[in-house]
Structure 1
């Protein structure tokens, strides 16, 4: 129940703003439940408003390069926020934010492509047999149709799309018993496979909340917010990224190689399938090693403002599993020197 310095914290090379979002998670709250967003428009508008207020309060940071980073469901949040900031800049809304790039680690971004990659990833990692592969793949057409309807009809069609697709992932998990879906090398322990309960306890100490200036309880995972966002999870958030690439906004998609939940293969496939002016050259670019202190820590492809990086010996949470490599990745990416050894 104490703190220690992280030798590889990203504060070593940047100023960091942590935001508990959507409203209703972490320390973020509202007295009106209608303020809890149900889609990425609501999420990104809230975050954009927050950034405007932040820069009003701290104008000394306005000229700094601004980057947005996150993991997992941030594959939805971050492209949405990056697009909102970019549009705000284009429309001359409020304070101009010096957006240089965004990065997503093991993200959930394009469900149509990522759900289809589950069986290939599982087969490659010997989580299922070839017979299982053929059997589970029979669920894919129904999943695809569901996602198509979600895109056109929204609302309940998106809930139904999730029901149509989750059997693909669920079948793999059922075959493997108590596997940690965030790191297939490990056993799942607890509701979310990791025990972060001490973090929750620490942040809810009266003394900690007084120092932080908050009066509300810290909620790491909110079922209320999950329910409010239930129609969002099967939406495709890749669609807004090409415009950002065309305008020179840097994009880094990275993934630890042992995560099943938002695995590297599904992420690689949607990145390669994305339509933009540099697609052919990106797809045709060589895969090169990502080297940290003389050792290969991953492999990547890059062209123009887009980079995809598979990180070795890491699961869903790359900065936790490979902190040194993650800090090098962030530092070089912001400097435009990811290929540096």
Structure 2
């Protein structure tokens, strides 16, 4: 072994001298002792997994003569007031599969909901993180056209983002949700594969929906989508510049409570936990000693590492687990709450709804069982975890593509402080002016709902009384944010109220 090959091992060994004794010999089942189980458990926790299932049953039939994108209009029974002048019969709600280019046998599943406002509203792509968690989590519990009740009825969401946009929810990467492949070679291991697949999907989507091609287009999402979103935005922008296909009217991208620059964000864990009273001064000092080695691990991971990236993953996430061992049974997606059950949230109603035969038939997914979060997908992307996706963002905003980073104040896992710090430290031509910009109140219906910092194409919004999933915790503020941002200014409240019309 040469010195370079020993580096990951030395990093792993060195971390043990810094960890609290309770972490080295954990008594709770949540933090098993082996490196493999440790990493697996951490991924599961970080990915908000609401129950892992294996896909079974037959997949939809493949017909070589059929088009690559097959979509059907949905006829959903949704209770309540639609909150729009458009009738349910006129409203376009769709689900479909796209047979991905440049794969062996992969099909990407998506929902598409036309705006309850105007067909000229922006087209918004939503990506849930994980990696490997279905965007149906956002659709049913955050910003979709409807919410799901305990009796599995669908109820119109007064603050669904389809009230201000034509919104697409995609299950990606391959293997996520209803997306699937018959060939294991279609798993994605990095953001190049993820972004290329989504670019191919978008080309096919706009070819099938040409009336939306000139609409403004925005890429949004949360959590691990802090990796996906910059990569996909860069891919779309590059495709436009190189005239590869249809010109997509890309205007901006928004990252909600995301993981984008791990080196900076992991450095904020202990500080955030201490500022929120989750740990005391002694624990803060001890846990903070882990960070320099974590930072070194991320540096060695670089843009193409494998073993060093896995080592840095284990090293850096020991910061997070050390905090939890001190903080106790908190919901690390919303520290105001207790973690109820092993996964902190209960999304079982969504699984029950989507696994009904009548629903599967209407969606065109055959006998394929819905998978909320896929273990194989997140394991495939484990060495992608510590990559820095902030590095490509300055070129995008220099070209006038605007960025909004927003974060709920009570999320620990992708906390607002870490997001604020990486945005603040990002080097671009407007960095000094952005740094000098004041924090302004973000008001909704006359009530202060957050703090906003903005200059030119770059904005950061800290959202009050929200955890990891801002549109779930503060739906009215989240819809106001989307409407103002896509219309050009987050600073000023519209004169028209966002209160639902009932």
Which interval holds the TM-score relative to the shorter structure? over 0.9
Question: In the alignment, which residue of structure 2 is the partner of 1:104?
Answer: 255
Contact 2:290 2:319 in 1 (8 A): yes
Q: Alpha-carbon deviation of 1:255?
A: 0.1
Specify every segment of 5 or more residues in structure 2 that has no aligned partner in the other structure, as ranges: 1-151, 494-502
Q: Tell me, in whole angstroms, the C-alpha distance in 1 between the residues paired with 2:362 and 2:377.
A: 26
| Among 24, 32, 50, the residue aligned to 2:175 | 24
Q: Tell me, in whole angstroms, the C-alpha distance in 2 between the residues paired with 1:156 and 1:147.
A: 11
Higher strand residue share:
2
Going from structure 1 to structure 2, the CA distance change for 1:252 and 1:153 (only over 3 Å counts) comes to closer
Q: Tell me, in whole angstroms, the C-alpha distance in 1 between the residues paired with 2:410 and 2:303.
A: 34
Q: Tell me, in whole angstroms, the C-alpha distance in 2 between the residues paired with 1:59 and 1:152.
A: 37
For the pair shown, which has the larger CA radius of gyration, 1 or 2?
2
Question: In the alignment, which residue of structure 2 is the partner of 1:291?
Answer: 443
Contact 2:188 2:194 in 1 (8 A): yes
1:224 paired to 2:376: yes
Q: Alpha-carbon deviation of 1:82?
A: 0.2
Question: In the alignment, which residue of structure 1 is the partner of 2:413?
Answer: 261
| Among 161, 182, 201, the residue aligned to 1:50 | 201
Using the size of structure 1 for normalisation, the TM-score is 0.99
Contact 2:225 2:259 in 1 (8 A): yes
Q: Alpha-carbon deviation of 1:20?
A: 0.5
Question: In the alignment, which residue of structure 2 is the partner of 1:157?
Answer: 308
Q: Alpha-carbon deviation of 1:96?
A: 0.8
Q: Deviations over 1:77-131 (max 9, x none)?
A: 0000000000000111011111000101000000000000001101100001111
Q: Tell me, in whole angstroms, the C-alpha distance in 2 between the residues paired with 1:71 and 1:221.
A: 15
Q: How does 1:275-290 map to 2 (within 5 A)?
A: 275-290=427-442
Q: Deviations over 1:240-299 (max 9, x none)?
A: 110110000010000000000000000000000001000110010011000000010000
Question: In the alignment, which residue of structure 2 is the partner of 1:135?
Answer: 286
Q: Tell me, in whole angstroms, the C-alpha distance in 2 between the residues paired with 1:250 and 1:190.
A: 39
Q: Find the residue that maps to 1:184 and give its secondary structure.
A: coil
Q: Find the residue that maps to 1:272 and give its secondary structure.
A: helix
Q: Deviations over 1:154-205 (max 9, x none)?
A: 1111000011111111111111111000000000013321000110111111
| Among 62, 71, 75, the residue aligned to 2:226 | 75
Specify every segment of 5 or more residues in structure 1 that has no aligned partner in the other structure, as ranges: none
Question: In the alignment, which residue of structure 2 is the partner of 1:336?
Answer: 488
| Among 317, 323, 326, the residue aligned to 2:475 | 323
Q: Find the residue that maps to 2:176 and give its secondary structure.
A: coil
Q: Tell me, in whole angstroms, the C-alpha distance in 1 between the residues paired with 2:199 and 2:187.
A: 15
Q: Tell me, in whole angstroms, the C-alpha distance in 2 between the residues paired with 1:317 and 1:153.
A: 31
Q: Tell me, in whole angstroms, the C-alpha distance in 2 between the residues paired with 1:311 and 1:249.
A: 23
- Greater alpha carbon shift after TM alignment, 207-216 vs 156-165: 207-216
Question: In the alignment, which residue of structure 2 is the partner of 1:241?
Answer: 393
Question: In the alignment, which residue of structure 1 is the partner of 2:166?
Answer: 15
Q: Tell me, in whole angstroms, the C-alpha distance in 2 between the residues paired with 1:200 and 1:191.
A: 17
Going from structure 1 to structure 2, the CA distance change for 1:334 and 1:152 (only over 3 Å counts) comes to closer
Higher helix residue share:
1
Question: In the alignment, which residue of structure 1 is the partner of 2:320?
Answer: 169
Count of matched residue positions in the alignment of Structure 1 and Structure 2: 341
Q: Find the residue that maps to 1:50 and give its secondary structure.
A: helix
Using the size of structure 2 for normalisation, the TM-score is 0.67
Q: Deviations over 1:46-84 (max 9, x none)?
A: 100000111111111110100011010010000000000
Q: Alpha-carbon deviation of 1:324?
A: 0.3
Q: Deviations over 1:289-311 (max 9, x none)?
A: 00000010000100000000000
